[in-house]
Amino acid sequence: MRLVLLGAPGSGKGTQAARLKTALGVPHISTGDMLRAAVAAGTAMGLKAKAVMEAGQLVSDDILLGMLEERLAQDDARAGFILDGYPRNLAQADALDQLLLKIGQPLDAVIKLEVPNAAIIGRCEIRFKAEGRADDNPDTVRKRLAIYAEQTAPVADFYARRGKLQVVDGVGELDQITARIRHALQRKPAVTD
């Protein structure tokens, strides 16, 4: 299974990907986790990414695509993967399609978790207090939601036109949301104009 999870920051993509990876037998690949690891390690890329992330901005497409290509070349991703946090814009979606075509692993499905902004801000405030992640600061989250609406939301239409998109209600108990995703993966999405 080659799956992309879409949704606004704080919509539960990472939580659901972690729950799905065992059931689907594929790795959860989070560009956010890859970036946070680079920041924690203090790499040159990590230091650049840190400044961008703390300002509520998105890391450049070239950096993310390069990291992703290296990750997809690893043995555990040959049977598939769950992408979380990528693609974030139409250019990334197109670049991802080209990369997956090049490596012979086209996407099977795209799930978009639909969660109201007020619920997302509340979730991120809780996570900010518990984990202290700079990108979960309420002001930063509001900026990230605005960027998501402008840049990432159109990616859903990109995949809907290709017959890959399923929209899933991302509000509720974790088990309910996971069950909705698994049910959506069994359905054939409609192609939209």
3-state secondary structure the chain: CEEEEECCCCCCHHHHHHHHHHHHCCCEEEHHHHHHHHHHHCCHHHHHHHHHHHCCCCCCHHHHHHHHHHHHCCHHHCCCEEEECCCCCHHHHHHHHHHHHHCCCCCCEEEEEECCHHHHHHHHHHHHHHHCCHHHCHHHHHHHHHHHHHHHHHHHHHHHHCCCEEEEECCCCHHHHHHHHHHHHHCCCCCCC
For the cut 70, the answer to whether the pLDDT of residue 193 exceeds it is no
Q: Residue 112 sits in a domain of what CATH number?
A: 3.40.50.300
List, for residues 162-188, the tens digit of each pLDDT value.
Answer: 999 999 999 999 999 999 999 999 987
Q: Torsion over CA of 10, 63, 55 and 124, rounded to 10 degrees?
A: 10
Considering the domain boundaries, does residue 163 fall inside one?
yes
Considering the domain boundaries, does residue 193 fall inside one?
no
**Residue 47: its pLDDT value, please?**
80
Cβ-contact 151, 58 below 8 angstroms: yes
For the cut 80, the answer to whether the pLDDT of residue 104 exceeds it is yes
What CA–CA distance (Å, rounded) separates 5 from 193?
Answer: 21
For the cut 90, the answer to whether the pLDDT of residue 63 exceeds it is no
- Entry pTM: 0.83
**Number of independent structural domains in the chain:** 1
Domain span including residue 180: 2-186
Residues whose CB falls within 8 Å of the CB of residue 11, separated by 6 or more in sequence, listed in order: 113, 114, 115, 120, 170
Considering the domain boundaries, does residue 168 fall inside one?
yes
Considering the domain boundaries, does residue 30 fall inside one?
yes
Considering the domain boundaries, does residue 151 fall inside one?
yes
Considering the domain boundaries, does residue 192 fall inside one?
no
Considering the domain boundaries, does residue 173 fall inside one?
yes
Considering the domain boundaries, does residue 191 fall inside one?
no
